[in-house]
Structure 1
Amino acid sequence: MAITEGVTGEQTGVDREYGDRVLAVEPGGNEFIPDEDRHGTPGQLFWTWMSPNLEFATIFIGVLSVSVFGMTFWQATLGLVIGTALGAAAHFVLSARGPLHGVPQMVLGRLGFGYRGNALPSAFMSIMCGVGWFATNSVSGAFALNTLTGLPPVPSLLVIVVIQTVFAFFGHNLVQAFERYAFPVLAVIFAITAIVILTKANPGAPAIEGGVGGLGGFLLTVGTAFGYAAGWTPYAADYTRYLPASVSTFRTGLFASAGLFVSCVALSVVGAASVTIGAPSSDNPADAFTSNLPSALANLTLLAIALGAVAANALNVYSGSMAFVTIGLKLPVKTQRAMVAMVFGVVGFLVAWWALADAAASYEAFLLVVAYWIGPWLGIMFADQYLRRGQRIDNLLYDPEHTNWGGFSAFVIALLTSVLLFSNQEKFVGYVVRSVPELGDITFFVGFVIAGGLYLLVNGSKISRDKPVSAQR
């Protein structure tokens, strides 16, 4: 059901002059988008989610699966496909809700967590994704620019950060336009690069000694692939809420998830294949990857890596700032989301600067940590959506009195339980994993099941008593 009644509070602040203007700062923060301001088609979501994943961070997932997790190429490919497919499936479901409700993804999270309880996952989203992912991708872009131009790493990082922060500052329409025009450039360059890498690769090469190996290594591969793909799910409705409410929800979810799945699988598999060519020639990950390419193509690929980092981070800092204003803090400016985006750009730069020293270790740990909170969050989101099918929700999204401490509690319990028992990090190994190390890291799966199960148990009868709305689509 589209939100068409009970429009109050935060929902009234949309500037009707924004519309489909590209070179204009998107006003406000996380308001509902009225029908008269909707535009676009589901097909545009394909490049919206292809472009940000045509970057080196995606390639590096495959590199990790072979070089660190001890998988053969074919084992890595299977794990990468499974993990990405799980993340893309979640992205399908959440993206489809955007046109129906016309609000950002984290606003929809208020249903399962309550207005104030939703501040916790919104804070996780804004910090871990808006800053953490921003920093992670900025590092890969900086390495690429450094190798391509000879500009020192820190100035390279500054250039990348400034460009992508500008896109996020202007907001939704410019971000969508940039993804559209970046897509053909990135797709062509990476397609040629993939062909060259795959022709040089040795798919039958044995697993690298010293890696995790076995079931543990496979589950780590699945987990990192899922963490990367599912890392986009808290953004899903942010880029579909401007679509007309009349568009097909199936096509909306399909194009969004297809762009995510195709780009992630394609480049991560290329990354896995690149490791089978031989030992890396440089400590700079981007330089090590492109050293397998002819000089001209290597330069084009480095350019694409830098461009891909910008494409990814335009979304990261935009949605991170959207989540921040959903925490509930009120800023006395008309363009509060845009101002928060600028702050996140500065913070993201500082975090990326710190991570330059050991990008590989930071990235591996970060991917798993992202999956730790997103697993329970998805469990709550899906369980709540299932229980509320056929019911009115617009009266709850901007209501400060709406509470759902059952959802908040289920999230916290699932997060703490899954991490304490099943996490497998350098600084902390879960109690179950200490006894059964071959489990690898299944924290995200356990968190999803516990959170969803607890939510259904605690809120099932309560939400089911709400009266269905016949107009619900």
Structure 2
Amino acid sequence: MTVADPTEPSVQSDGTYRDKLVAVEPGGNEFIAHEDRHGHPRQLFWTWTSPNLEFATIFVGVLAVAVYGMTFWQAVAGIVIGTGLGAIAHYFLSARGPLHGVPQMVLGRLAFGFKGNAVPAVLMSVTAGVGWFATNSVSGAFALSTLFGIGPLAALVIVVLIQTGFAFFGHNLVQAFERWSFPVLAVIFAVASVMILTKSHFDAPAIDGGVGGLGGFLLTVGTAFGYAAGWTPYAADYTRYLPATVSTARTGLFASLGLFLSCTILEIVGAASVTIGPALSDNPTEAFTSELASPLAKATLLAIAVGAIAANAINIYSGAMAFVTIGVKLPHHIARALVTVFFGVAGFCIAWWALADAAASYEAFLLIIAYWIGPWLGVVFADQYLRRGQPIAAFLYDRSYANWGGFASFGLGLVVSVLLFSNQEKFVGYIARAVPQLGDITFFVGFLIAGASYLVLCRSKITAERTAV
């Protein structure tokens, strides 16, 4: 088998990017040279806190009470469980970045093979670079529209241009923006959260017309998981620049802690806000901030816009990275930057379309993300378990490396779980149709089926590779 060692100069940066901010990051998905490594695990706390200090996070909690029919305390339980599961996955995937120095989707080539990995890479690039980009752009646009009294479309153009600019320059500027925005976002959202919580009625009964019961609870868990786990295909993208000598435990801990705390707190605040007054309207951000005094409401609207930009700088950066990982031939030194511009335009078009019905689009989007990420995580974790202690560098850039058992396991987990358990307006799975009180447990089933299938189909292959090395 012909291999490509990721320590060769042809697939690594040269050390000149290390201390630059306003400079286009060279290359795309190459191995990061040890000369270019920098930073500390603690920086990951704000890397993964800032992008979740935004309205899209709050709206997960809003959905739990306003749509899924949960009481406040039922929503809290579902949010903690779903977010906790996503944060655990984020811990393990983030920890691998410093060890291997490559993006998350490059590591995915181990489980799927070079060509098979194109499917999850495309799903991730579309989910992040278009789907999440559009979703967060909408909330940022609504916030700017309300704050400055301008049309939503004009506000959308402003938000898209700013966040695409950050992602175009790449890793160092994105990381710096997350650090700069963290104290501003943390203070404003902390004050707004306290004000919302002090006005809330924690013992209010469930809203009539919601899903309710076990189904509503499982939908809450699935939605919270979909939001948190939506970041997992990016995890190593933001830890691969750390020196290989840093603690993997600290790396995973700071990344997962920032994700868990920011998501859990703001989603709980979103759930609490529904107990005060109407939460769903043509402009959800305005409905949320209407409960706040004018100066704080304006500051919160500004924070919502900045938070959307913080989230989308990461979304479009990693979406472009995943697309480059497919193996498309582009100019080597600006491959990722070129794809970033493309996704910025595509995301703008989708966001423009979604302005008309943001709430319904967001609910379906969160669950659909979980549909493919569940089986993807099952395959990735099963592969990581089977390869523990095995040298893997030789496989990462080898275009001939195949692992069709991983692709088959992913496909089996995705298709079976969706056919049986999905619960969407356009399609209800056969078991979900017969037992509607299950809500939507597609991602749980997909994870288990895909992971178990991989352990059965790929154990002998990986054992043989271990012996051959």
Q: Does 2:387 align with 1:367?
A: no
Offset of 1:469 from its aligned partner?
11
Q: How many residues align?
A: 466
Aligned counterparts of 1:307 and 1:257: Cα–Cα separation in 2 = 22
Match of 1:236 in 2: 235
* Greater CA drift, 457-466 or 23-32: 457-466
Match of 2:96 in 1: 97
Match of 1:246 in 2: 245
Offset of 1:36 from its aligned partner?
1.1
> 1:131-146 residue pairs with structure 2 within 5 A?
131-146=130-145
Offset of 1:23 from its aligned partner?
1.0
Q: Does 2:86 align with 1:87?
A: yes
Partner of 1:467: helix, strand, or coil? helix
Is there any run of 5+ residues in structure 1 with no aligned partner, and where?
A: none
Give the AA of the match of 2:385: Y
Aligned counterparts of 2:406 and 2:298: Cα–Cα separation in 1 = 49
Match of 2:186 in 1: 187
Change (3 A) 1:151 1:358: same
Partner of 2:24: helix, strand, or coil? coil
Offset of 1:34 from its aligned partner?
1.2
Is there any run of 5+ residues in structure 2 with no aligned partner, and where?
A: none
* Greater CA drift, 10-19 or 434-443: 10-19
Q: Does 2:200 align with 1:201?
A: yes
Aligned counterparts of 1:35 and 1:263: Cα–Cα separation in 2 = 31
Considering only aligned residues, what root-mean-square deviation do their CA atoms show, in Å?
Answer: 1.4
- 2:114·2:399 contact (CA, 8 Å) conserved in 1? yes
Q: Does 2:399 align with 1:405?
A: no
- 2:282·2:356 contact (CA, 8 Å) conserved in 1? no
Give the AA of the match of 1:376: P
Q: Does 2:223 align with 1:220?
A: no
Aligned counterparts of 1:379 and 1:228: Cα–Cα separation in 2 = 17
- 1:66·1:275 contact (CA, 8 Å) conserved in 2? yes
Match of 1:461 in 2: 460
Aligned counterparts of 2:362 and 2:22: Cα–Cα separation in 1 = 34
Aligned counterparts of 2:55 and 2:142: Cα–Cα separation in 1 = 10
Q: Does 2:141 align with 1:130?
A: no
- 1:66·1:208 contact (CA, 8 Å) conserved in 2? yes
Partner of 1:335: helix, strand, or coil? helix
Identity %: 71
1:228-251 Cα shifts (integer Å, max 9, x gaps): 000000000000000000000000
Partner of 2:466: helix, strand, or coil? coil
Aligned counterparts of 1:7 and 1:459: Cα–Cα separation in 2 = 24
Give the AA of the match of 1:296: P
- 1:26·1:170 contact (CA, 8 Å) conserved in 2? yes
Aligned counterparts of 1:11 and 1:60: Cα–Cα separation in 2 = 45
* Greater CA drift, 13-22 or 61-70: 13-22
1:190-210 Cα shifts (integer Å, max 9, x gaps): 000000000000000000000
Offset of 1:466 from its aligned partner?
3.4
Aligned counterparts of 1:68 and 1:433: Cα–Cα separation in 2 = 18
Offset of 1:462 from its aligned partner?
2.2
Aligned counterparts of 2:316 and 2:226: Cα–Cα separation in 1 = 18
Match of 2:312 in 1: 313
Change (3 A) 1:397 1:280: closer
Change (3 A) 1:469 1:56: farther
Change (3 A) 1:76 1:7: closer
Match of 2:47 in 1: 48
Aligned counterparts of 1:15 and 1:170: Cα–Cα separation in 2 = 17
- 2:139·2:305 contact (CA, 8 Å) conserved in 1? yes
Match of 1:25 in 2: 24
Offset of 1:13 from its aligned partner?
4.8
Offset of 1:101 from its aligned partner?
0.1
Partner of 1:210: helix, strand, or coil? coil
* Greater CA drift, 128-137 or 229-238: 128-137
Match of 1:6 in 2: 5
1:314-362 Cα shifts (integer Å, max 9, x gaps): 0000000000000110113521101100110000000000000000000
Give the AA of the match of 1:96: A
Offset of 1:10 from its aligned partner?
8.8
Offset of 1:16 from its aligned partner?
2.8
- 2:13·2:30 contact (CA, 8 Å) conserved in 1? yes
Match of 2:167 in 1: 168
Aligned counterparts of 1:232 and 1:419: Cα–Cα separation in 2 = 21
Aligned counterparts of 2:229 and 2:173: Cα–Cα separation in 1 = 24
Aligned counterparts of 1:105 and 1:325: Cα–Cα separation in 2 = 12
1:130-175 Cα shifts (integer Å, max 9, x gaps): 2100000000000000000011000100000000000000000000
- 2:91·2:256 contact (CA, 8 Å) conserved in 1? yes
- 2:95·2:249 contact (CA, 8 Å) conserved in 1? yes
Offset of 1:278 from its aligned partner?
1.7
Aligned counterparts of 2:362 and 2:135: Cα–Cα separation in 1 = 7
Give the AA of the match of 1:218: F
- 1:126·1:320 contact (CA, 8 Å) conserved in 2? yes
- 1:10·1:31 contact (CA, 8 Å) conserved in 2? no
Match of 1:452 in 2: 451
- 1:10·1:30 contact (CA, 8 Å) conserved in 2? no
Change (3 A) 1:189 1:366: same
Give the AA of the match of 1:166: G
Give the AA of the match of 1:267: L
